[in-house]
Amino acid sequence: MPKQTSAARRTSIAGLLAATSLALTLSGCAGYDVTAPADARADAPAAAVQAKDAQLAAADGAKNGDGKNGEAKGSGGGGRTTPPGGTGDVDCRKAKCVALTFDAGPSENTPRLLDILKKEKVHATFFLLGENHVDKRPAEVKRIDAEGHELANHTWSHQILTDIEPAEAKRELSRVQDAVRKITGKTPRLMRPPQGRTDEEVSRISKDLGLAQVLWSVTAKDYQTNDSALITKRVLEQTGRDGIILLHDIYKGTVPAVPGILKELKKRGYTVVTVSQLLSPAKAEPGMVYRP
């Protein structure tokens, strides 16, 4: 059985994450440009827009029984509705979308989370941590991919990329790229820098590795509490159209909060999507920083 994440390690990660909001408040976005999802969509190349529109038309035809193959992919039997990281038939140019993301897993809580997402027919983006997570839980990584979620990179050991040498920062990212590719045959295209801290050098490294950077607009600060009701309240208070929700599936209070969060978001008219779906018809560009 894979080794469980130690309490000491969780405390260490929690301590690092606890500084996130303060760090971003103090530093703002100085030193790098940020692109909002709406701006990315608006600036999408004409060819990408045409391809997206054609994809939507084909999906609509399939739903109405007009598809040449007789049925829409993922129309039954628990199959995926979109490929991992795919954009499917969601159009966030028109729909009221919000992206759901989870950091620092997989963990012992991830299977339950995946059960919930499957039941609710929701796909999320998972920013995976390498050490003691990806390397200890390859089965969960495979399942995340197989069930249509988006694989992304959260570094190997949660080092602050702006505080270490460029060569080490590159290793922090490339080790996860290699590990995920070995397990799934796919290489992540998105990464989230620990504490959201990035700069021009990190952007250069990310570009070299084919990684776009994704920050967030909603945080429950679930590293500070196991109160699922409070986590739910914080998420719902902050969520708006084109938001990116940051949660962690390594903490005990987070996964139990997800059903209530999803229920209320759907009640409010939101379509819950992956980051790539949120940006479509644009594609995340390596080195760029995306945040609502």
Is the separation of the CB atoms in 126 and 147 below 8 Å? no
Do the beta carbons of residue 150 and residue 123 sit within 8 Å? yes
Question: Pairing between strand 150-153 and 289-290?
Answer: unpaired
Task: Tell me the pairing of strands 289-290 and 212-214.
Answer: parallel
Distance, in Å, from the CA atom of 223 to the CA atom of 221, rounded to the nearest integer, reads 5
Does 281 sit behind a cis peptide bond, omega within 30 degrees of 0 on the bond before it? yes
Is residue 36 exposed (0-12), middle (13-18) or buried (19+ Cβ within 10 Å)? middle
HSE of 139, CA atoms in CB hemisphere, 13 A: 6
Which of 4, 27, 267, 20 is closest to 158 using CA atoms? 20
Tokens of 11: 């405390």
User: 127: burial class by Cβ within 10 Å (0-12, 13-18, 19+)?
Assistant: buried
Give the tokens for residue 37.
């999802």
Q: 106: cis peptide before it, omega within 30°?
A: yes
List beta partners, residue 99.
244, 273
Nearest-CA neighbor of 244 among 102, 126, 99? 99
Catalytic residues: 103, 248
* Contact (CB, 8 A) for 259 and 120: yes
